[in-house]
Chains A and B, each alone.
Chain A
Amino acid sequence: DVKVTQSSRYLVKRTGEKVFLECVQDMDHENMFWYRQDPGLGLRLIYFSYDVKMKEKGDIPEGYSVSREKKERFSLILESASTNQTSMYLCASSLPWTGNGYTFGSGTRLTVV
């Protein structure tokens, strides 16, 4: 069964910590995405990547960075975690064309205290 795996379901971090969220897909997909989901705001795109070592800013990249050293792995980095980054983080992957839909991971619920 093809899938997108996010390393943690729940995570609690302290303000100011550097936080790494990992996402791995086994479908050989070119595209990978990081979204955050907040009540009333829906899904907002943070960063995406079309290929290894390539990245593009989404709608809300401030406070985040990403790394894609291998095709199957896309990491989201919170350089210095803040309480307003408490959220559900969703990783997704897809083939290059939008007509194939996205495959999502189960999400990481991050709490910054």
Chain B
Amino acid sequence: SQQGEEDPQALSIQEGENATMNCSYKTSINNLQWYRQNSGRGLVHLILIRSNEREKHSGRLRVTLDTSKKSSSLLITASRAADTASYFCATAVTYNQGGKLIFGQGTELSVKP
């Protein structure tokens, strides 16, 4: 069962522009995470936001979480061609041992030089 749905499915921007990806989910969560996947490779963990946090920053990444709307957004500022990848949100219903992540279907980002 897919918990997260991402929007848009694909996004194409010019280098230097900002990229915003959205994730919606269905059930209450403990935390939400964003991952990046370069073409044909494994996923890389980018950033985690806990359910009691509203915003978090890491370098050029900014993540927001609205638990009342069950949604999150990932903003990449001043994008570069090297940011071209697929981005996935993943939700964790619990923090405890045994908890697992449920991944969305991803947003494919293309940054043109």
| Residue pair B48, A99 in contact (C-beta under 8 Å) | yes
| In contact, B100 and A59 (Cβ under 8 angstroms) | no
Provide the bound-state CA to CA distance between A105 and B88, in Å: 16
Instruction: Check B92–A104 contact: CB distance below 8 A.
Output: no
A residues 14-41 touching B (CB-CB < 8 Å): 30-31, 33, 35, 40-41
Chain A: interface residue count, which band?
A: 20 to 34
Does the CB pair B41–A50 fall under 8 Å?
Answer: no
Q: Interface stretch among B11-19, B60-68, B75-83, B103-111?
A: B103-111
**A-B complex: 7 closest residue pairs judged by Cβ atoms:** A104-B42, A98-B92, A42-B105, A101-B45, A43-B103, A96-B97, A98-B99
Across-interface contacts of B2 in A (CB, < 8 A): 42
The residue that B104 contacts in the complex, of A42, A97, A103, with Cβ under 8 A, is A42
Interface size on B, residues (CB 8 A): 30
- Restricting to A33-73, which residues have a CB under 8 Å from any CB of B? 33, 35, 40-43, 45, 48, 50, 59
**A98→B95 CA distance, assembly (Å):** 5
Min Cβ gap A99→B in Å is 6
Q: Is the CB of A42 within 8 A of B42?
A: no
Neighbour of A98 across the interface among B1, B31, B40, B104, CB < 8 A: B31
- Minimum CB–CB distance for B65 against chain A, Å: 14
Cβ contact within 8 Å between A106 and B42: yes
Nearest-CB residue, chain A, relative to B33 = A101
Chain B neighbourhood of A81, CB < 8 A: none
A59–B3 CA distance with the chains assembled, in angstroms: 12
The residue of chain B having its C-beta at the shortest distance from the C-beta of A41 within the complex is B105
Q: Is the CB of B44 within 8 A of A104?
A: yes
Known: A4-B42, A104-B43. A98 touches B101 (CB 8 A): yes
- A50 and B97 form a contact (CB under 8 A): yes
The smallest beta-carbon distance between A31 and chain B, in angstroms, is 8
Q: Mark A84-113, 1 if CB is under 8 A from B, else 0.
A: 000010101000111101111111010000
Q: A43-B88, A59-B1 are in contact. Are A97 and B99 (CB under 8 A)?
A: yes
Q: How far is the CB of B35 from chain A (nearest CB, A)?
A: 8
Q: Is B28 an interface residue (CB 8 A)?
A: no
